[in-house]
Amino acid sequence: MHKIDIPQSITERVLERRGSLHVHADLDPRRTALLVIDMQNCFLNPELAASSVPYAVEIIPTINRIAAAVRETGGKVFWTFHTVNDSTLQDWSEWFRMFRGMPEQVGTRAKNMIVGSRGHALHPDMRTSPDDVMVLKDRFSAFLPESCDLAAQLRAGGYDTVVITGTATNVCCETSARDAMMRNFKVIMVSDATATWTDAEHNATLSNIYSIFGDVMDAELLIDCLRKNPTRNSTPSAITAKKTLGGQYGQT
């Protein structure tokens, strides 16, 4: 697991600016969406990964525990799937051109991030529910209109709070967190349910998010906050799980 180390200066700045160490602690579970970012074989299984994230395997039990608590208290779980297809290779060509030193990675990504491949599927230890929502995205951020329609789905379901988990902390998780806040969602990043390649990268993102873009909690604190208000009155979600692609998204 990553060793969490947010500088004291960041914590002091947050307290001075917000008057609280956790500005989103009094959340409404039924308006809370858990985002599980890209916990797919193409990042977690070294045989299928273009960019293997070893730490990500270690956070699977924690994400499963958070997902169970979100469902139990009335929230909704959304799973994102990083996806590559012919359109992605053309429309996001600048990203793929940056692999000049490792051209084989482009082919690996195209092969193992296509819908229906083993690499595209969730890691088999992830626990989903039929009521969860599966979302394909083809950019790092899940909140770009060009990437997917997640933001519209959240608005339609009445969700105003987004909990970020998954991988990689400083890539898809961070870009999604930043863009979510810029679209006026409350953002909570879970420090021990996100993972990347090094502690330095992980903590740099946590510090950025905590300082400017939202809240950072560990799983224990987040679950306590969810269970504190399980019956708060709010509009139940109208979102239902997507059944497309014959269950190719992962385990159900």
Q: What is the CATH number of the domain that holds 87?
A: 3.40.50.850
Q: Is residue 212 part of a domain?
A: yes
At 85 the pLDDT is 78
What phi and psi values does residue 133 have, to the nearest 5 degrees? -115, 135
Q: What is the pLDDT of residues 175-197, one digit of tens each?
A: 999 999 999 999 999 999 999 99
pLDDT at 43: 93
β-bridge mates for residue 33, sequence order: 76, 162
pTM over 0.75: yes
pLDDT tens figures, 120-151: 999 999 999 999 999 999 989 999 988 899 99
What pLDDT, on the 0 to 100 scale, is given for residue 163? Answer: 98
pLDDT at 100: 61
CA distance 79 to 133: 6
User: In this structure, is residue 168 part of a structural domain?
Assistant: yes
Domain of 151, in residue numbers? 13-236
Does 149 map to a domain?
Answer: yes
**Cα–Cα distance for residue pair 241/252, rounded to 1 Å:** 11
- Residue 190, strand partner residues: 217
Which pLDDT does position 24 carry in this prediction? 96
Greater pLDDT, 89 or 163: 163
What is the sign of the dihedral through the CA atoms of 85, 87, 90 and 94?
Answer: negative
Span 92-102, mean pLDDT? 64
In a domain? residue 6 = no
| 4 belongs to a structural domain | no
Can you tell me the distance from the alpha carbon of 114 to that of 84, in angstroms, rounded to the nearest whole number? Answer: 5
Lowest mean pLDDT among 56-60, 200-204, 244-248: 244-248
Angle between helices 60-73 and 219-228 (to 10 degrees): 10
Residue 170 belongs to some domain of the structure: yes
Is 32 part of a structural domain of the chain? yes
Give the count of domains, the chain: 1
Q: Which of 211, 167, 242, 227 is nearest to 10 (CA)?
A: 211
Share of the chain above pLDDT 70, in %: 84
In a domain, 252, yes or no: no
Residue 174, pLDDT > 90, answer yes
